[in-house]
Amino acid sequence: MTTRITHLIGNKPWDGVADRTSEIYNPATGEVTGALDLADKQLVDEVVETAATAAKEWGRLSIAKRTKILFRFRELLDAHKEDIARTIVAEHGKTFADAVGEINRGLEVVEFACGIGSITQGGFNENVSTEVDAYSLRQPLGVAAVISPFNFPAMVPLWFVPVAIATGNAVVIKPSEKDPTAVNQIAELWSEAGLPDGVINVVHGDKEAVDALLDNPKVASVSFVGSTPIARYVYERGVQAGKRVQALGGAKNHMLVLPDADLDLAADAAVNAGFGAAGERCMAISAVLAVDAIADELVGKITERMARLTTGEGNQDGVDMGPLVTKDHLDKVTGYVAAGEAAGAELVVDGRNGEWVGGSSDGFFLLPTLFDKVTPEMSIYRDEIFGPVLSVLRVPGFDAALQLINDNPFGNGTTIFTNDGGAARRFQSEVQVGMVGINVPIPTPMAYHSFGGWKSSLFGDTHAHGMHGVHFFTKTKAVTARWLDPSHGGLNLGFPQND
């Protein structure tokens, strides 16, 4: 028996009949578990109209009242995070611990947004001219669209929605059609927290729904996370329609390991960052740059740790990694494994024929896979695989590694493992990447900093959450004011007067 999943418009489930639907799968078993209603342009336009009407009143509501709702939502999300995590495991396939972890990261953004009163303060200058004051205001845009990916069905919407709502906007979210239910659950919590009808809306769909959001003139901004080709498309079409757009794209994240590094720490980090969430995250490490002097030892340590990993159904105790999200994606990733092997890379650990726990033989499983002696022209290095495939490239030293990273078209995240402070300082200064880690596996910033890459990993001028997020979801207005002093009944402005 399958469950119907539908849109939430004005805090109410849609009561219509969809012309088109898509299937939702349990990745651990391959079973169809849900039928998702897909929106057409007409329905998207109706949802945007609902949001636009709600935005007018919500944007005028006091900061104090908005903040109270944010605090209530924060408590509700924390109380229900395990229920939402189970939904994510069932639809995405990641482990329960990973699913809880992504909601916790989203909670950090909610907590940041709870301080919206202090972070949206404008500036004020008294007496910029005689008896004239000047000040600036931050005001909401109106309707903000959020188009989120499958790999973090809760966290990515929570990067954008709390900041957009806190700053006085109404939101239309279009989740991934692969794992949409978590967003519905989160939207229901917003309603329970007291958010007025229409301030948050969920519309499900595919490219037709995305295009309708990009083209609708009442959508003021679009926030997107996904692959680089689609990010570029969203950015270009949205900007052509006059919208403010932040489109976060793909990645090829490198970990540089220098000879003086703690190799045990580096090996632990490579395994965690390469295979956590089955490698389906934009901050996953997919390329380890090992200096020749320590490459053999590092590959040996990574291999030893991989042998201790358990792959299986995400709710099983002791499972480190779950399945991939769909059968099509599994086929794509295993195709890259075959291509790497054919190109001459050394397949140290082949995850295509391993065993897993729980789930079924029809599940979308690929066990952790390791290549050594990968070269830059191979597709397993050039492309974002988005799966549990880790590639080791051997480099002669620091300069060659830095050049390799900077030559890559992606610039999302990178990290260096070293005990040399000078090398680390030079790395963080010269690497052409938006998020940099030093002796940490995944350099994801906290919510009060902003998340985003460089080069083909970001289209637009602003990153997600932090002050970039506040600036993205608000527009600045400058005011110059003169108030007459009642003691003299007016000011002589110096203009000729007719007596």
Q: Which are the catalytic amino acids?
A: 282
CA distance 496 to 499: 10
* HSE (side-chain half, CA atoms, 13 Å) at 475: 12
DSSP lists the bridge partners of residue 72 as none
For residues 92 and 325, is the Cβ–Cβ distance under 8 A? yes
Report how far apart, in Å, the C-alpha atoms of 482 and of each of 130, 132, 489 are: 9, 5, 13
Query: Could you tell me the sign of the dihedral formed by the alpha carbons of 104, 109, 110, 111, in that order?
Result: positive
Order the strands of the 124-129 sheet from edge to edge: 124-129, 132-140, 474-482
Q: By C-alpha distance, which of 452, 466, 445 is closest to 162?
A: 466
**Exposure string over 105-126, b if 16+ CB within 10 A, otherwise e:** bbbbbbbbbbebeebbeeeeee
Q: Are strands 458-459 and 244-248 parallel, antiparallel or unpaired?
A: antiparallel
CA distance 37 to 365: 27
For residues 462 and 144, is the Cβ–Cβ distance under 8 A? no
